[in-house]
Amino acid sequence: MGLINGLKFHNLRGDFFGGLTTAIVALPLALAFGVSSGAGAITGLYGAIFVGLFAALFGGTPSQISGPTGPMTVVMASVFTAMTATNQENGPAIAFTVVMVGGLFQILFGVLRLGKYITLMPYTVISGFMSGIGAIIIILQIGPLLGKEGAGSVVESLLSLPEFLTNVNVSALGLGILTLLIVFLWPRKLNSYIPSPLLALIVCTLISVYLFPHSELIRIGEIPTGLPELHLPVFQLNKIKEILVYGLMLATLGSIDSLLTSLVADNITRTQHDSDRELIGQGIGNMIAGLFGGLPGAGATMRTVVNVNAGGKTPLSGIIHGVILLIIVLGAGNLTAQIPNAVLAGILIKVGIDIIDWSFLKRAHRLSMKAAALMYAVLFLTVFWDLIIAVAVGVFVANLLTVKSLSDLQMDKVKAITDPSDETQLSHEEKQLLKSAGGRILLFRLGGPMSFGAAKAISQQMTIVQNFDILILDLSDVPLLGVTASLAIENMVKEACEKRREVFLVGASGKIKARLRRLQILNLLPPHNRINNRLKALEQAITLINDKVVKGNAMEPVSHGEVVDDTSVETNRD
User: How far is the C-alpha of 147 from the C-alpha of 30, rounded, in Å?
Assistant: 20
Residue 39 has pLDDT above 70, yes or no: yes
**Coil vs helix vs strand at 311:** coil
Residue 248 has pLDDT above 80, yes or no: yes
Share of the chain above pLDDT 90, in %: 30
Sequence letter at residue 177: I
The answer on 491 and 422 residing in a single domain is yes
Beta bridge partners of 505: 473, 530
The highest-confidence range among 67-81, 97-111, 343-357, by mean pLDDT, is 97-111
State the pLDDT confidence band at 333, using cuts at 50, 70 and 90.
Answer: low
**Coil vs helix vs strand at 38:** coil
Residue 101 belongs to some domain of the structure: yes
Residue 270 belongs to some domain of the structure: yes
The answer on 177 and 112 residing in a single domain is yes
- Kindly state the helix (H) or strand (E) to which residue 506 belongs, with its residue range: strand 502-506
The four Cα atoms 114, 118, 120, 122 give a dihedral, to 10 degrees, of 160
Beta bridge partners of 67: 298
Looking at residue 408, its pLDDT comes to: 78
The answer on 432 and 284 residing in a single domain is no
The highest-confidence range among 199-203, 217-221, 278-282, 513-517, by mean pLDDT, is 278-282
Q: Calculate mean pLDDT across residues 102-107.
A: 97
The answer on 303 and 429 residing in a single domain is no
Residue 530 has pLDDT above 50, yes or no: yes
Nearest to 28 by CA among 225, 187, 195: 195
pLDDT in tens, 420-430: 776 667 888 88
Beta bridge partners of 43: none
Do 527 and 495 meet the contact criterion of CB atoms below 8 Å apart? Answer: no
Residues 6+ away with beta carbon under 8 Å from 480: 449, 450, 451, 511, 512
Domain boundary among 329, 356, 383: 356
What is the DSSP code (8-state) at residue 357?
-
Residue 60 belongs to some domain of the structure: yes
Global confidence as pTM: 0.75
Specify the range with the lowest mean pLDDT, choosing from 18-22, 24-28, 67-71, 388-392: 388-392
Report the b/e string of 350-368 with b at 16+ CB within 10 A. bbbbebbbeebbeebeeee
Beta bridge partners of 323: none
Supply the mean pLDDT for the chain: 85
- Kindly state the helix (H) or strand (E) to which residue 474 belongs, with its residue range: strand 470-477
The answer on 259 and 120 residing in a single domain is yes
Residue 75 has pLDDT above 80, yes or no: yes
The four Cα atoms 317, 321, 324, 328 give a dihedral, to 10 degrees, of 170
Specify the range with the lowest mean pLDDT, choosing from 86-95, 173-182, 242-251: 86-95
- Kindly state the helix (H) or strand (E) to which residue 100 belongs, with its residue range: helix 91-111
Residue 313 belongs to some domain of the structure: yes
What is the DSSP code (8-state) at residue 114?
-
Beta bridge partners of 477: 447
Do 292 and 123 meet the contact criterion of CB atoms below 8 Å apart? Answer: no
The answer on 238 and 115 residing in a single domain is yes
**In 3-state terms, the chain is what percent helix, strand and coil (to 5)?**
65, 5, 30
Looking at residue 387, its pLDDT comes to: 76
The answer on 158 and 260 residing in a single domain is yes
**Coil vs helix vs strand at 363:** helix
- How crowded is residue 118: how many other Cβ atoms within 10 Å of its Cβ? 22
Domain boundary among 308, 324, 356: 356
Looking at residue 324, its pLDDT comes to: 92
Looking at residue 174, its pLDDT comes to: 94
The answer on 218 and 133 residing in a single domain is yes
Nearest to 453 by CA among 412, 504, 418: 412
Q: Containing domain of residue 456, as a range?
A: 413-551
Residues 6+ away with beta carbon under 8 Å from 467: 442
Beta bridge partners of 441: 470
Residue 572 has pLDDT above 90, yes or no: no
The answer on 137 and 285 residing in a single domain is yes
pLDDT in tens, 131-189: 988 899 899 899 999 988 877 788 888 998 998 888 899 999 999 999 999 999 999 88
Do 310 and 17 meet the contact criterion of CB atoms below 8 Å apart? Answer: yes
Q: What is the count of structural domains for the chain?
A: 2
291 compared with 521, residue with greater pLDDT: 291
Looking at residue 549, its pLDDT comes to: 55
Domain boundary among 333, 356, 379: 356
- How crowded is residue 152: how many other Cβ atoms within 10 Å of its Cβ? 16
Q: Calculate mean pLDDT across residues 83-105.
A: 91
Residue 124 has pLDDT above 80, yes or no: yes
State the pLDDT confidence band at 59, using cuts at 50, 70 and 90.
Answer: very high
Do 50 and 292 meet the contact criterion of CB atoms below 8 Å apart? Answer: yes
Residue 5 belongs to some domain of the structure: no
Residue 408 belongs to some domain of the structure: no
The answer on 322 and 220 residing in a single domain is yes
Alpha helices by DSSP H, 38-90 = 41-58, 70-86
Share of the chain above pLDDT 70, in %: 93
Residue 90 belongs to some domain of the structure: yes
Nearest to 458 by CA among 471, 469, 470: 471
**Coil vs helix vs strand at 477:** strand
Looking at residue 567, its pLDDT comes to: 38
Looking at residue 450, its pLDDT comes to: 82
CATH, residue 440: 3.30.750.24
Q: What single string gives the DSSP state of each residue in 395-446?
A: HHHHHHHHHHHHHHHHHHTEEEES-GGG-TTS-HHHHHHHHHTTT-EEEEEE
Residue 370 has pLDDT above 70, yes or no: yes
pLDDT in tens, 438-479: 888 888 888 888 877 777 778 877 778 788 888 888 888 888
The answer on 248 and 105 residing in a single domain is yes
State the pLDDT confidence band at 320, using cuts at 50, 70 and 90.
Answer: very high
State the pLDDT confidence band at 220, using cuts at 50, 70 and 90.
Answer: confident
The beta strand positions in 144-199, using DSSP E, are none
What are the phi and psi torsion angles at 231 (to 5°)? -115, 95
The answer on 447 and 334 residing in a single domain is no
Residue 493 belongs to some domain of the structure: yes
Q: In which order are the strands placed within the sheet that holds 414-417?
A: 414-417, 441-447, 470-477, 502-506, 530-531
The four Cα atoms 185, 217, 134, 151 give a dihedral, to 10 degrees, of -160
